[in-house]
Amino acid sequence: MNRLELEAIGDEYPFTPKAMEIDGHLIGYLDEGPKDAPVVLMLHGNPTWSFYYRKLVLALRKKYRVVAPDHIGCGLSDKPQEYEYTLANHIANLSSLVANLGLGNVSLAVHDWGGAIGFGWAVDNPDKVRSLTIFNTAAFRSTKIPFRIWVCRAPLFGDVAVRGLNGFLGSAVKLAMATNKRERFTPQVEAGYMAPYGSWSERIAIHRFVQDIPLSPSDRSYQRLTRIEEGLEKFRDKTPCQIIWGMKDFCFTSHYLDRWTQFLPQAQVHRFHDAGHFVVEDAHEEIIPLMDSFLGSLRK
């Protein structure tokens, strides 16, 4: 995304993004708020980028240091064509970013693929995790996947549909929001989601994320996801946790919410019956005070 495109969405994304070189590629990220304040680390999923968290970043940066990276291939990060877009590599990039920024005692917030990536880092660094906020996501094995996502994994068809026709992103920005909330999806908001993914080459990570969904032991990220699932026990009954869930999610249904409450029974659960997969987009006005209260309780 170039400077002019950033300026075009400036009202919605009024930040000065930063970048860090990791293994020869630039990783874009937001780093907002006082540097000596408690850290909130926000991880997006597919097919979004740090733009997804913009309302939370604006609200929380008054009291917290809010860091929101773009995974490689996403948002303002480099989009290399010859790269192994695997769960393990995304976790490694996150680990390098956290280490290079000197982040510790982190309040982790995750959505969609950010769940597996974030918990992939967290299970290896439980002493650095202060709290957990979980938006519609998973960090454990499941075979439940909507057909419209499954079919995008297919060779040739997936390439054409996801990278050629931009079908995955195009449908996601419509299906991921609750029907009665779509009026807030203004042309500028749509432009914000679409801007980093304007061409075949820029949509490579969107497709690779779909291809990397670990559904069976033959999938290359399955063993890593298994290890992450087994590591969730480290946070059970110990780590302050809240789950904020859009109940109209076509992908991460209530089945996933039920699984989370089994892994983390101490979690405060907030169900938004009028929100979809993009729960932060649908309900940020109500989520901001929840985040402020939850994070504020950690400072007492």
Q: What's the pTM value of the predicted model, to 2 decimals?
A: 0.96
Residues with Cβ < 8 Å from 206, sequence gap 6 or more? Answer: 46, 47, 73, 74, 162, 163, 168, 169, 197
d(CA 251, CA 267): 21
What pLDDT shows up at residue 4?
62
CA distances from 59 to 5, 65, 236, 274, 276 (A): 24, 11, 29, 22, 22
How far the first Cα of the chain sits from its last, in Å, is 41
pLDDT tens-digit map of 81-119 = 999 999 999 999 999 999 999 998 999 999 999 999 999
Q: Tell me the CATH number at 176.
A: 3.40.50.1820
What pLDDT shows up at residue 3?
66
Q: Specify the number of domains making up the chain.
A: 1
State the alpha helices, DSSP H only, in 217-278. 222-231, 254-263
Q: Looking at residues 253-260, what average pLDDT do you find?
A: 97
Task: Examine the pLDDT at 289 and tell me if it is beyond 90.
Answer: yes
Q: Which domain does 222 fall in, by range? A: 3-297
Per-residue confidence band for 189, with pLDDT thresholds at 50, 70 and 90: very high
Q: Looking at residues 58-63, what average pLDDT do you find?
A: 97
Mean pLDDT value across the chain: 94
Q: Looking at residues 272-282, what average pLDDT do you find?
A: 95
Task: Examine the pLDDT at 138 and tell me if it is beyond 70.
Answer: yes
Q: Looking at residues 132-146, what average pLDDT do you find?
A: 95
Phi-psi region of 287 (alpha: psi -120 to 50; beta: other; left: phi over 0): alpha
Q: Which residues of 137-152 are buried (b: 16+ CB within 10 A; e: fewer)?
A: bbbbeeeeeeeebeeb
